[in-house]
Structure 1
Amino acid sequence: MVKMNVKILNSAKSTIIKNAAKNLSEKSLKQKEAGYSLTELTLIVLILGIIAAIATPGWLAFTNNQRLRTSTDRIYQAMFAARRNAMRDKTAWQASFQETTNIIGQPVIRYALHKPAIVPDDLPTSSWKYLEVGIEIDDNETNDKGKYETTLRIVKPDTNTVTTNKTDPIYRALFNYKGCPVYKPTNQCTQTSIQAKGRIAIKHQNQDKPKRCVIISTLLGVVRTGKDHAKALDGKYCH
């Protein structure tokens, strides 16, 4: 009799466990089919928002720096090409750089290669090419050494003559027929000066640093790129 009762109890226990397991399985399946609860969805959105808030500034800095590097390379190529053209054609060539805005008001630098006999205002629209959007010339104020990071000569767009007026300026890198940086197109290499070398520094409109620069570093017209440094060299931090 006792053995029979134990057998009945064990059978009942087994049935209860099976039914409970079945109910849990069905409940879990229904939850999966129903999707996430409102609390779970809120938590997921919150986590994604936190991740985005952390990642966005870093991503923006990365893309801005990439635009800066690309623009620096284009300026370098423009100066190099102007010097090469001058030596090829045995006559002076210049690279002209001007800040402007695009159709939605974003700052952008345009540049053109041309002979100095053609003033910038007379260049056809197709002659101008553009750097990356958001890149601007660093020429508004001096650094803590009292020096401007951009020192290329400024010329008037309607006459291509040197001026100190920074209203709608055009910065010019001028090379004579031997590839030397000069003040006037007809100057010989022996008539050049240290001031004729010059440099142009650029930065992104949303970041004061880092800066990049392209430098005419010798009186023979050697062109190179530079970047920000903690210590100044000849009063310039971009070198």
Structure 2
Amino acid sequence: MANILSLRLLNYFQLHSRKTKLKQQYLANRPFTNGYKQQDAGFSLIELIVVLLLVGILAAIAAPGWAAFVNRQRINKVNDAVFAALQEAQREAKIKKLSYSVSFRKNSTTQEVAIYRTDIGISTWKPLGTDVSVSSDKFLLGTNLNSTTENTADNVSYSLNPSAKITFDYMGTLPNASLGTSGLQIVVAVPSSANPTLASSIKRCVIVKTLLGSMVTAKDNNCN
């Protein structure tokens, strides 16, 4: 009986000893320190440089496309404001049975619009683009309206000096207008990156197409 007990105790201590040694070997060879691999702690300088280069390349590729998208959104909004101004003048002319005009001009700091009874004249100019949160320096405003003959189409100009005007009669029409081949145009353009006083190819416009005062919108090459 004593021999059996001694044998069991010996086996127990041998097993415990092996477990202890295995545990010590595992801890000694473990590739972790405080829960993290030493070889994976942080990033090397080369890895950071590679990541920064990739980010820079992607940004360079995406930036022009994003800028063009933003510019198109801006002039779309301003063109909508031009369309709304012309529609308002035409609507007021029909409702009140009086001639109404819409004038556009460029002063030293802003590009402006005025909607008014033709017989009374302009009382207030309003910066174009303010209502749609677009700054005046982000677009160019032009027309093909002749500066001396009312409701007459000419070549598109972005000077707006003097101001340009479209007038609707008491029925909301333009009975004596000379529309030419392209109609009366109000053009909104993105400034050229090379020369901000010149228009780029990105354009939007509102065109009064007929003597009845029907209007359409167009873009780019159709706004020249």
The higher radius of gyration belongs to: 2
CA–CA separation in structure 2 for the residues paired with 1:27 and 1:70: 58
- Residue 27 of structure 1, CA deviation: 7.9
CA–CA separation in structure 1 for the residues paired with 2:211 and 2:36: 79
Please state if 1:206 is matched with 2:192.
yes
Structure 2 residue corresponding to 1:115, chosen from 117, 126, 134: 117
Alignment of 1:8-157 (within 5 A): 16=25, 18-21=27-30, 24-26=31-33, 29=36, 35-100=42-107, 102=109, 108-120=110-122, 123-124=123-124, 127-131=125-129, 132-133=134-135, 134-138=138-142, 150-154=143-147
Given the superposition, is the C-alpha separation of residues 130 and 32 from structure 1 closer, same or farther in structure 2, using an over 3 Å criterion?
A: farther
- Residue 38 of structure 1, CA deviation: 3.5
State, as a whole percentage, how many aligned pairs show the same letter: 29
Asked whether the 8 Å contact 1:180–1:220 carries over to 2, the reply is yes
Normalising by structure 1, we get a TM-score of 0.64
| Structure 2 partner of 1:7 | none
Asked whether the 8 Å contact 2:179–2:209 carries over to 1, the reply is no
Q: What amino acid sits opposite 1:64 in the alignment?
A: N
Q: Deviations over 1:91-135 (max 9, x none)?
A: 111111123454xxxxx5321211223444xx33xx413223311
CA–CA separation in structure 1 for the residues paired with 2:38 and 2:105: 63
State the number of aligned residues: 191
Q: What amino acid sits opposite 1:199 in the alignment?
A: Q
Normalising by structure 2, we get a TM-score of 0.68
Structure 2 residues without counterparts, runs of 5 or longer: 1-19, 194-199
- Residue 62 of structure 1, CA deviation: 0.4
- Residue 210 of structure 1, CA deviation: 2.3
Given the superposition, is the C-alpha separation of residues 46 and 223 from structure 1 closer, same or farther in structure 2, using an over 3 Å criterion?
A: same
Alignment of 1:141-220 (within 5 A): 150-154=143-147, 168-181=161-174, 189=175, 191-194=176-179, 197-206=183-192, 208-220=200-212
CA–CA separation in structure 2 for the residues paired with 1:118 and 1:31: 83
Structure 1 residue corresponding to 2:214, chosen from 190, 197, 222: 222
Q: What amino acid sits opposite 1:224 in the alignment?
A: V
- Residue 155 of structure 1, CA deviation: 6.0
- Larger deviation: 205-214 or 216-225? 205-214
Aligned CA RMSD, in angstroms, stands at 3.7
Given the superposition, is the C-alpha separation of residues 64 and 17 from structure 1 closer, same or farther in structure 2, using an over 3 Å criterion?
A: same
Q: What amino acid sits opposite 2:119 in the alignment?
A: A
Asked whether the 8 Å contact 1:68–1:203 carries over to 2, the reply is yes
Q: Deviations over 1:196-220 (max 9, x none)?
A: x511222101361222111111101
Given the superposition, is the C-alpha separation of residues 35 and 220 from structure 1 closer, same or farther in structure 2, using an over 3 Å criterion?
A: same
Asked whether the 8 Å contact 2:106–2:160 carries over to 1, the reply is no
CA–CA separation in structure 2 for the residues paired with 1:228 and 1:65: 11
Asked whether the 8 Å contact 2:204–2:220 carries over to 1, the reply is yes
